Amino acid sequence: MRKFANTELERENRYLARKKMNPSNIFAELKRRHVYRVAIAYTVVAWLLIQVATQVFPFFEIPNWVVRLVVLVVVLGFPIALIIAWAFEMTPQGMKRAEDIAPNEYIPHWSARRFADLIVTIAMLATGLMMFPLVRSKSTFRAQITAPLTHS
């Protein structure tokens, strides 16, 4: 019973501390909760998905409305991702509510090397997707030039 009382008291103290958040500190709070990281990562992945949809879907003769649907879902998902990033924190034990984590508590995250590897991989995929139409159009052009003329 005593442990329960301590936890309730701790939660109430955290709630009061959060409630007194200074509005001028909003950018510091966004940084602490990693909302910036989520926004940047979501933007990069969203751009990559939209590029894949616009480049690959026509190749497989997928209707154009599906590409529009992908773009719409990606755009509508952005604010949802930011809200989730604000409300929850990823810890080694899984997702936890941000209110249950002390502001000065250290949470281990990816190393800088691993994050750099991810960014380089995404950049290489993006470059490949941008080069795909150029390579495809050149090969089509060459095939048209080398095809025998069949005029009667």
On whether residue 42 sits in a domain, the answer given is yes
More confident residue, 72 or 14: 72
149: helix, strand or coil: coil
Q: Are residues 85 and 138 in the same domain?
A: no
Instruction: Give the confidence band of 92 by pLDDT, cuts at 50, 70, 90.
Output: low
Q: Are residues 114 and 100 in the same domain?
A: no
SS (H, E, C) 81-107: HHHHHHHEEEECCEEEEHHHCCCCCCC
On whether residue 97 sits in a domain, the answer given is yes
pLDDT value of position 74: 93
On whether residue 151 sits in a domain, the answer given is no
pLDDT value of position 23: 66
* Each residue's pLDDT tens digit, 103-133: 666 656 666 677 778 778 888 888 887 777 7
Give me 100's structure tokens. Answer: 């249950």
Q: Are residues 100 and 134 in the same domain?
A: no
Of 110, 81, 87, whose CA–CA distance to 100 is shortest?
87
Q: Round to whole Å and give the CA distance between 146 and 150.
A: 12
* Each residue's pLDDT tens digit, 14-54: 655 555 556 678 888 777 777 888 899 899 989 989 998 99
Q: Round to whole Å and give the CA distance between 67 and 60.
A: 12
pLDDT value of position 122: 83
φ, ψ at 94 (rounded to 5°): 115, -165
Which residue segment(s) compose the domain that 83 sits in? Answer: 2-107
pLDDT value of position 78: 94
Q: Round to whole Å and give the CA distance between 38 and 54.
A: 24
Query: 0.75 cut: is pTM over it?
Result: no
| Token pair 């930011």: residue | 82
On whether residue 152 sits in a domain, the answer given is no
Kindly tell me if the per-residue pLDDT of 79 is higher than 80: yes
Question: Residue 139, CB half-sphere, CA atoms under 13 Å: how many?
Answer: 6
How many domains does the chain divide into?
A: 2
The end-to-end CA distance of the chain, in Å, is: 97
- Residues 57 and 66: beta-carbon distance below 8 Å: yes
Instruction: Give the confidence band of 64 by pLDDT, cuts at 50, 70, 90.
Output: very high
Instruction: Give the confidence band of 1 by pLDDT, cuts at 50, 70, 90.
Output: very low
Q: Are residues 119 and 97 in the same domain?
A: no
